[in-house]
């Protein structure tokens, strides 16, 4: 645990000092519903991310309470009953974009694996994400889809809604990163 | 006479079910209170805000000069990142570097990546 914390600290420190691309308004969305009348989905439009273009290191941070639901009551339940966002306000990912050669990126999407540690509700989980990267006029576009299990992060789903909430949460990230001066 | 009584009971039960359903639907689909109508638990300058340790997800009002304009996002006092509601785009588009502004928004917390405090769903208030 201490080693991981030190690793994250060193990674974030190195990201802050190297040539990097960043966003403060990354879109992170998820869907967590089975076939239900009202879909359980939300979007966070204020995710922050930094990518070090020299070595592919990436750090993402988002505030759980910033997930925006169509139904206010659903948002309240999400924060209070499932994510416990007052106790665990942030979720983060620290990892590395494999084989990133920034100079070889074009305006066509290219597949890259991202390997790292996702932390939700204070629980760390090693994950591999398939992402698509491309150069844009202002910097870099990163799109990725991946899934996580509610059980991996100790998210308790009450029996009464168990058939409405999927055990597998589908997450999508869509970030437009611009060069950070 | 008896069928009329049954008819009344049926109507009463159906009416009760409809009323309860409408109440439940109204409760489940209630709209979130707009930020303009929410009570702010803090009102002051950036330095007062930083030293007062306001709890996350509270509504705050800040008065400060704009220290950076980054597209749709502003920076106040070199420490606060301000992201506004889509409906406020027109008002925020007129703001320039150095302007003294008053914003009301939701304080999310401290962003360790950018080392700044994050304010979202902001609206612009008149400086009084």
Answer whether A155 touches B (CB < 8 Å). Answer: no
| Closest partner CB to A72 (pick from B32, B113, B114) | B32
A-B contacts at Cβ under 8 angstroms: 55
Structure confidence by residue, pLDDT tens digits, B85-110: 988 999 899 899 999 999 999 999 99
Instruction: List, as one string, the DSSP characters of chain B.
Output: -HHHHHHHHHHHHHHHHHHHHHHHHHHHTPPPPPGGGSPPSEEEEHHHHHHTTPPTTEEEEEEEEEEEEETTEEEETTTEEEEE-GGGHHHHHT--TT-EEEEEEEEEEEETTTTEEEEEEEEEE---
Strands B58-70 and B42-45, by their bridges, are parallel
Q: Which among B60, B78, B58 is positioned nearest to B68, based on CA atoms?
A: B78
Residue B5 makes CB contacts below 8 A (sequence gap 6+) with: none
Judge whether residue B9 has pLDDT over 70: yes
Phi, psi values for residue A56, rounded to 5° = 85, 5
Q: Are A158 and A175 in contact (CB under 8 A)?
A: no
The reported pLDDT for the residue numbered A161 is: 78
pLDDT digits (tens, 9 = 90+) for B13-56: 999 999 998 888 887 777 778 899 999 999 999 999 999 989 99
Q: What's the complex ipTM?
A: 0.81
Domain ranges of chain A: 2-180
At residue A8, the pLDDT reads 56
**A48 with B73: Cβ contact below 8 A:** no
- pLDDT value for A150: 92
Question: Out of A22, A25, A65, whose CB is closest to B108?
Answer: A65
Q: Does B85 touch chain A (CB under 8 A)?
A: no
- Chain B residue nearest residue A73, CA to CA: B28
Q: Looking at the domain A2-180, which fold is it?
A: Lipocalin (2.40.128)
Contact A12 B113 (CB under 8 A): yes
Render pLDDT for B59-71 as a digit per residue (tens, 0 to 9). Answer: 999 999 999 998 8
Query: Any chain A CB within 8 A of the CB of B111?
Result: yes
DSSP state letter for A138: S
pLDDT score recorded for residue A11: 55
Q: What is the pTM of this model?
A: 0.84
Neighbours of A41 (CB within 10 A): 16
d(CA A115, CA A148): 14
- Could you say which residues of chain A have pLDDT below 70? 1-18, 35-37, 181
DSSP 8-state secondary structure symbol assigned to residue A83: S
CA–CA distance, A18 with A52 (Å, rounded to integer):
6
Q: Looking at chain A, list the stretches that DSSP marks H as alpha helix, in order from N- to C-terminal side.
A: 2-17, 72-77
């Amino acid at each position: 645990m201490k080693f991981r914390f030190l690793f994250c600290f060193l990674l974030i420190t190195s990201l802050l000092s190297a040539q990097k691309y960043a966003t403060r308004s990354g879109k992170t969305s998820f869907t967590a519903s089975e076939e239900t009348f009202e879909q359980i989905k939300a979007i966070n439009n204020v995710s922050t991310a930094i990518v070090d273009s020299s070595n592919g290191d990436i750090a993402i941070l988002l505030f759980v309470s910033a997930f925006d639901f169509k139904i206010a009551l659903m948002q309240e339940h999400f924060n209070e009953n499932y994510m416990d966002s007052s106790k665990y306000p942030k979720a983060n990912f620290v990892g590395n974009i494999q084989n990133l050669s920034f100079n070889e990126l074009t305006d066509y999407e290219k597949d890259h694996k991202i390997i790292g540690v996702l932390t939700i509700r204070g629980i760390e989980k090693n994950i591999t994400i398939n992402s698509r990267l491309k150069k844009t006029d202002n910097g870099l576009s990163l799109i990725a889809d991946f899934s996580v299990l509610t059980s991996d992060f100790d998210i308790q789903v009450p029996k009464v809604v168990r058939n409405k909430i999927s055990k597998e949460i589908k997450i999508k990230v869509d970030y437009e990163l611009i060069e950070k001066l | 006479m008896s069928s009329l009584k049954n008819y009344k009971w049926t109507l009463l039960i159906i009416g009760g079910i409809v009323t309860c359903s409408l109440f439940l639907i109204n409760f489940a689909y209630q709209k979130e209170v707009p930020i303009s109508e929410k009570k702010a638990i803090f009102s002051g300058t950036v330095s007062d805000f930083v030293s007062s340790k306001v709890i996350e997800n509270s509504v705050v009002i800040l008065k400060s000069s704009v220290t950076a304009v980054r597209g749709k996002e502003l920076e106040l006092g070199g420490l606060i990142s301000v992201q506004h509601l889509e409906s406020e785009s027109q008002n925020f588009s007129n703001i320039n570097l150095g302007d003294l502004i008053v914003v009301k928004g939701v304080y999310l917390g401290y962003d360790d990546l950018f080392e700044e405090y994050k304010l979202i769903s902001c609206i612009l208030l008149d400086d009084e």
